[in-house]
Amino acid sequence: MTEYVHKNVLVIGLAKSGLAAAKLLKSLGANVTVNDLKAKKEDTAVQELESLGIEVIGGGHPLSLIEDADVHLIVKNPGIPYSNPLIEKAVLKGIPIITEVELSYKISEAEIIGITGSNGKTTTTTLIYEMLKANHSKALIAGNIGTVACEVTKEAKDDEVVVMELSSFQLMGTIEFNPKIALVLNIFDAHLDYHGTRKEYAEAKGKIFENQTNEDFAIVNYDDKEVCELAEKSNGKLIYFSASQNIGKGAYIKDDTLFMDEEKIINIDEIVLPGKHNLENILAAIAAVKIYGVNNTAIRHVLTTFSGVKHRLQFVGEVEGRKFYNDSKATNILATTKALQAFTKPTILLAGGLDRGNEFDELKPSLKNVKTLITFGETAPKLERIAKESGIEVIKRVDNVEQAVYAAFDASNEEDVILLSPACASWDQYKTFEERGDMFINAVHKLK
C-alpha cells in the first residue's frame, strides 16, 4: 500500500487504538505525530513511539498542530468528541478525520463481518466467532470487543474472516469502510452526550451500511423500525431476523424453535444462554454464519455450551442453591431491564454506580420478581426510592460490590437468583465495568 507514503498524519489520542494506528501508519511510510492529553515522556507507549521516530506531544491539544503544519489526515481516538477544538479546527480546514477502524478496512485482505447496535454487540460478535470456529472456518475477532482492529487485519489472510464489534464512535470516523456482512442489532437511546441527538446517534450506526454493494449482505432486526430504515442505505442483500414474528424468511422463531429460511436449527429450551434479548443476538448470529455455510451441528454445539460473555449476564456459579449472574456491563437502565426480564425466579438485584443525572423510574415494570435490592455507589438513594415505590421490602445499602454479594447471600433463599446488573457506569468507584465485575466474581468464589 502506497496511499500513506510521505503523508503527514496526526494521531489524536493514544490508548491502544492510537498506539496501534501510529505504528501501522509509520510502517506504511507516513510522517506521524501523536497528540495525547495525558502523554508523559516516561510512559512505555511514548518511549516505544519515539524509538520509531514518531513525535509525541502531550499536555493538551494545541491548535498549532493544525495551524502550523500541512496535515493530510487525522486518526482520532473514538472517545474524543467532535466538539474538541482541535477536531473542530480540522473540520473547518477540510482535513479528513477517521478512526482506526477505517485503517483496518483499508489494509485488510480478509472479509469483515461488522456488528453494531445499542445492546448485544459483544455477545453477538462472540457467538458468530465461536460458530465459525466450531465449523473449522478461519475466523479472527477484533474491534470494540478489546482487540484493536488494525492489529488483527494487518495479519489477516484472504481466506480468513474478521468478526468485528463496532461502536457508533468508531463508525462515525469511517469513509470507505465496507464490511462484507453489516449487522445492526437495535437502536436505543445511548451516548446522547456524545452525539447530541438520537438521530445523529442512529446515523452513526447506519454508516455501517453506506458503502455496501450488491455483493454484500445487510442483516437487519425486523422488529426495529429504526434499524430497517437505516438498512435502506445498503445496496447489499437484506436478511432479516425476528425474535417476535414468524417472518418465514431469514432467522425467526416458530413453535419455540429457531429457524433459518424454514430450516429448523434448535429448540429454545436447548439453548444455555439466558434471556429473551439473547434470542435476538442468537438469531442475528445464525443469519450471519449461514452466509458462510456454517452447518447446524456447529451452531448447535455453540448454543448448547456457550453461557455468556464475561460481565454480560455471565453465569458465575451456584452456592447453596443460589445462582449468581454477573452483568456488570449493564451500564444503563435498558441493559438492566433486559437482564431482569431474563429471569422468572425470585431475584436479588445488586445495582448502583455513577450518577449521570437520570432517574430510574423506567426500571419499575421490570422489578416484579425482585425481592431484595442491594445498592452501592452514587445512585444508591435514587435506586432505593424506586424500590420502595415498587413495593420491594428488603433494601440495603453497602459500600461496594464485594459487600453487596455477602449481603445478597444473607438475604437469599434456595433457588433465588443473585444478579449484579448495576444500571450505571462504574466510574464513581471502579476504573472499568470489568474491575467491578471481577470483584463480584471473586466474592462469589470466596462464598464457595
Of the candidates 18, 38, 76, 63, which has an alpha carbon nearest to the alpha carbon of residue 194? 76
Tell me if 337 is assigned to a ligand binding site. no
Tell me if 118 is assigned to a ligand binding site. yes
Question: Which residue type sits at 59?
Answer: G
Distance CA 103, CA 253 (A): 38
Question: Which residue type sits at 248?
Answer: G
**How many secondary structure helices (H) and strands (E) does the chain include?**
17, 20
For 38-42, the CB contacts below 8 A with 24+ separation are 38/14, 39/14
Question: Which residue type sits at 282?
Answer: I
Distance CA 123, CA 288 (A): 14
- Residue 54's contacts (CB-CB under 8 Å, 6 or more residues apart) are 22, 23, 26, 32, 33, 34
How do strand 322-326 and strand 314-319 relate by DSSP bridges? antiparallel
Q: What are phi and psi of 170, to 5 degrees?
A: -70, -45
- Residue 220's contacts (CB-CB under 8 Å, 6 or more residues apart) are 184, 227, 228, 231, 238, 239, 240, 241
Of the candidates 412, 379, 415, which has an alpha carbon nearest to the alpha carbon of residue 397? 379
Tell me if 120 is assigned to a ligand binding site. yes
Tell me if 117 is assigned to a ligand binding site. yes
Q: Is 77 exposed, middle or buried (0-12, 13-18, 19+ CB in 10 A)?
A: buried
Distance CA 265, CA 258 (A): 6
- The 10 Å Cβ neighbour count of residue 197 is 9
Tell me if 121 is assigned to a ligand binding site. yes
Binding-site sequence positions for ATP: 117-123
Binding-site sequence positions: 117-123
